[in-house]
Structure 1
Amino acid sequence: MLAASFITLLIIILLIGLSAGYFSRKTVSDYLTASQSISVWQTILSTLASAYSGFMYIGLIGYTYSKGVSGLWLMAAWMVGEFFIIRYIPEKISTATHDKNLLNYNSLLSNYWGNDKVIIKKVAAIITLVFLSIYAAAQFDAAGKAMNILLGWDLLIGIFVTYIMVLLYSFAGGIRASIWTDSIQFIIMLFSIALLVILGIDAIGGWGAFVDKLYQNPSAYTELFPQSMGNNFFIALFLFGWIAGGLGISGQPHVAVRFMAMKKTTQYKKILYGYYSLAIIFTSLCILSALIAKVYFADNLPAGFDNETILPTLAEAILPSALVGLMLAAIISSIISTADSQVLSCSSALGTDLLPQKSNDKARLMQNKLATIAVASFALITAIYAEKSVFVLTLVAWSGLASAFTPLLILQFMGYKISQSLGLVMMLSGLTAAVVWRFLGLNSIAYDAFVGILLGFCVFYLAQLFIKTEKQSAI
């Protein structure tokens, strides 16, 4: 029953993705931006699915299960940073895409003011390829872990099944297939995690019993600010670090492309309210599920247990077989909803920005589709051989992209016409700072993205002491 319900849901999702190919206009613009035809609610749901996905379903739940209630602050700070981006950025991205017929995130960075900066585009494309392919590999690995726990499949089989699904409908329908399936996948994710929380609390004996048993854990587990976080200065650094992580959503090509694909609209407040209402509900349920797992298993899991498998382990313990299949489908959906858009963003960087362009649109479309195969295959190999956790791989990739791109994008949206040379220095200094910060092990003090984004802005404002960047009314 478990396998049957899981496979049925996956087939439905796959068919939805493949059906997008039927509506394709067979152009590069349609493959990469769905001809700017996506509705507001599809944009909201697919953005949530892509931004939260495997990071939330696998990484954050595992982190909260391990560290405790303080995981709440991680996401609260993250969402504060996100607020400023979701409030102002979608309109800027959508308007620029429609006005200039932009094809991808790198063209948004390099051609926002209409004078295409080729070197910025190519460097941004290389950064996108490296970090987003690592990010996609983390999603493949997360899917393999989930199938291994609930179906008993070998890890490599689970990774390969995910690869095939992502490849099939990404190749067939491009970003339209990604957005259509993501919208359905987020609904499955939200419904399944809500069901797990309700049945989990019931299995423990009700809300009162859950709270009582939760506080039987060591105080460090139930404190909002455990002593291990240090004094107020380090707490502030911790929070600012994760606020920067939220700001970094504007530096994620696979998220920004949702707003590039959106049809013309004036309903930007609906995006803000819809996104945040669902995000708060979803993150709260994810954190609750981690705490329920802590109470339910009471540290009785075997030594060496992988915290990132706690969600499927909890589902298997308390749900009927058919509903375990639903939960597994939700987990895989959360992962695929991120992986497909990451693969497509990478294939766009490779096929549109780095490779020589073909003479006609049909040939350019095939070049992008072949790039999709190449990128997905690279992510598959990385997933098989990388030994880092999903959470770590995701955070490294997110911080790298955020550090490189966020300052440049935001300052351009503020009206600054940044030169190619200054833009390159900002991108590379922010990225380098984030990588070095993590390499030195300082990410326990503040998230890498905070350091990288801060340095990117500092480079710009220090440069203003020597050169004056032209500023005009933002588009």
Structure 2
Amino acid sequence: MILYAFIAFLLLFFLIGVSSYFVSKQTPSDYLVAGKNMSPLFVGLSAVATNNSGFMFIGMIGATYSMGLTSIWLMVGWVLGDYLIQRKTTAKIQQAGQSEEVHSFGGLVTNWVGNQSQNSNPKQLHQLRQLIGIITLIFLTVYSAAQLKAGTKATEALLNWSPEMGIMVSAVLIFIYSLAGGLRASIWTDVAQSIVMIIGMTLMVVFGWMHISDNGGVFNSLHAVSETYMNWFPADSNGLGAILFVIGWLFGGFGVIGQPHIVIRFVTLSPQHSVGHMQLYYYSWFFLFYGLTILAGLLSRVLIPEVADFDAELALPLLADKIMPEIFVGLILAALFAATMSTVDSLILACSASLSRDLTVTPTQSIWLTKFSTFIVLVVAVSFAMSNNQTVFNLVLDAWGMLGSAFAPLVLWLALGRQTSALSAITAIIMGMLIFSLFTYGGYLTNIYALTFGFLAGLATLVLSEYQEGKSKIYVK
């Protein structure tokens, strides 16, 4: 029954994605940016499902299982940071993305820099676009591998599939429906996947709560885990440490505008619709799903006590198998798989855009070469997923942090109407990545998410560059 329910939902996602072929125009523009005529509902649910993926189902639940109530500050900081940065940027992203030249994240940023700068250097603009394309290609491929890996954790635990089997099933389905409808197929399937994800997580919490309530009460059981498990802040942090901990995750939320696969969805929003309408769907789903995720992580610690060598990232599938009827276990498995697929297809298509539009001397106009790019990127991601053993939580945070440090300061700077040269933009991107790497792998201030320092370094570079170039005037459209 678990397998039948799982296959039924996968088939549903597959058919929805493939059906997008019948409205697709089969052009590179439609394949990469869905004609830029999507509705607020579709863009909002697609963007938030893409944002919250295997990281939430596997990584975040695993983190909550291990950390306890402290993980709630990841939610508070992340959602608040996301909201604050989007208030300043998303409408400008939608406007800048309406240019006929914009079919990729690199194209968006480069055109934006060129249009707002008085002294655009075509050669440097091309170098900027290539740099963005290379960074996007490398880190989104790593990100894709992490998501493919997330799906295999559940199928391995509940269906006894090998990791290779789970990765290949996901990759084949994604490739076929992406080939059929491109980003439109990705967005359509994201909407269906977002609905299944929220239903699955709700059922998980309801069944877990009922099970614990019948065996001693929820709150008593949670407090009995350990003396510090239900503490609001890390046990080893003082007042300042707690504040810095939350600020770190606030900057984690800022990183959303540095994620090419999410930003390109804002570009697809029809100019006839408002960003505010789209964000209503986005944040309603985001807040509800994140809260349910933390509850599920807490409940799983009570129902599956920690033992030596236990993989906390398996908490959700093991908990579902323990307390739910088989048909609902199949739904949870499908929801988890849907979460990973909703992100992987987005990541692969963003990489395809970089490969076919940003890294070439002239952007390709061939739909088949664009689709071939999708195939190449997916093959590389699958190969990496099969060989890498790092945890999903760490893989995603590293890729998210690197992209957020590289691109988020520049996108914010442009959205505020400030000018920058292509050379200054390149410098800011490199500086943000270097500082993020220094704090991530150098072991400095480990209680603060390193994106904080990467973001501030990139922004400081742009401020200093403006001062040095004598461009202190703010240009506001």
TM-score, normalised to structure 2, is 0.95
Question: Which residue type is aligned with residue 219 of structure 1?
Answer: E
Taking the aligned partners of 1:222 and 1:445, their CA distance within structure 2 comes to 19
Taking the aligned partners of 2:139 and 2:345, their CA distance within structure 1 comes to 15
Correspondence list, 1:221-232, <5 A? 221-228=229-236, 230-232=237-239
* Aligned counterpart, 1:45: 45
Taking the aligned partners of 1:272 and 1:128, their CA distance within structure 2 comes to 25
Q: Which runs of 5+ in 1 are unaligned?
A: none
Aligned residue pairs: how many? 469
Correspondence list, 1:253-292, <5 A? 253-292=260-299
Taking the aligned partners of 2:224 and 2:8, their CA distance within structure 1 comes to 41
* Aligned counterpart, 1:236: 243
Pick from 314, 323, 345 the counterpart of residue 350 of structure 2. Answer: 345
Question: How far does residue 356 in structure 1 lie from its aligned partner after superposition?
Answer: 4.1
* Aligned counterpart, 1:306: 311
* Aligned counterpart, 1:330: 335
* Aligned counterpart, 1:252: 259
* Aligned counterpart, 2:383: 381
Q: Which moved more, 1:372-381 or 1:204-213?
A: 204-213
Q: Which moved more, 1:14-23 or 1:2-11?
A: 14-23
Question: Which residue type is aligned with residue 239 of structure 1?
Answer: V
Superimposed CA distance per residue, residues 96-127 of structure 1 (whole angstroms, 9 cap, x where no aligned partner): 11245411111111111436611111000000
Pick from 133, 154, 161 the counterpart of residue 169 of structure 2. Answer: 161
Correspondence list, 1:64-463, <5 A? 64-112=64-112, 113-114=114-115, 117-205=125-213, 209-228=217-236, 230-299=237-306, 302-357=307-362, 361=365, 364-442=366-444, 444-463=446-465
Q: Which moved more, 1:307-316 or 1:116-125?
A: 116-125
The answer as to whether partners of 1:39 and 1:263 remain within 8 angstroms in 2 is: yes
Taking the aligned partners of 2:291 and 2:74, their CA distance within structure 1 comes to 12
Question: How far does residue 278 in structure 1 lie from its aligned partner after superposition?
Answer: 1.6
The answer as to whether partners of 2:40 and 2:273 remain within 8 angstroms in 1 is: no
Question: How far does residue 269 in structure 1 lie from its aligned partner after superposition?
Answer: 2.2
Question: How far does residue 447 in structure 1 lie from its aligned partner after superposition?
Answer: 0.8
Superimposed CA distance per residue, residues 172-205 of structure 1 (whole angstroms, 9 cap, x where no aligned partner): 2110000000010000000111011111111112
Question: Which residue type is aligned with residue 187 of structure 2?
Answer: I
Question: How far does residue 343 in structure 1 lie from its aligned partner after superposition?
Answer: 0.5
Question: Which residue type is aligned with residue 11 of structure 2?
Answer: I
TM-score, normalised to structure 1, is 0.95
* Aligned counterpart, 1:59: 59
Question: Which residue type is aligned with residue 337 of structure 1?
Answer: S
Question: Which residue type is aligned with residue 220 of structure 2?
Answer: D
Question: How far does residue 267 in structure 1 lie from its aligned partner after superposition?
Answer: 2.8
Q: Which moved more, 1:432-441 or 1:400-409?
A: 432-441
Taking the aligned partners of 1:459 and 1:465, their CA distance within structure 2 comes to 10
Question: Which residue type is aligned with residue 437 of structure 1?
Answer: F
The answer as to whether partners of 1:415 and 1:471 remain within 8 angstroms in 2 is: no
* Aligned counterpart, 1:466: 468
The answer as to whether partners of 1:132 and 1:397 remain within 8 angstroms in 2 is: yes
Question: How far does residue 82 in structure 1 lie from its aligned partner after superposition?
Answer: 0.4
Q: Which runs of 5+ in 2 are unaligned?
A: none
Question: Which residue type is aligned with residue 410 of structure 1?
Answer: L
Question: How far does residue 89 in structure 1 lie from its aligned partner after superposition?
Answer: 2.3
Superposed CA RMSD: 1.6
Question: How far does residue 222 in structure 1 lie from its aligned partner after superposition?
Answer: 0.7
Find the residue that maps to 1:382 and give its secondary structure: helix
Taking the aligned partners of 1:125 and 1:466, their CA distance within structure 2 comes to 27
The answer as to whether partners of 2:432 and 2:454 remain within 8 angstroms in 1 is: yes
Question: How far does residue 471 in structure 1 lie from its aligned partner after superposition?
Answer: 4.1
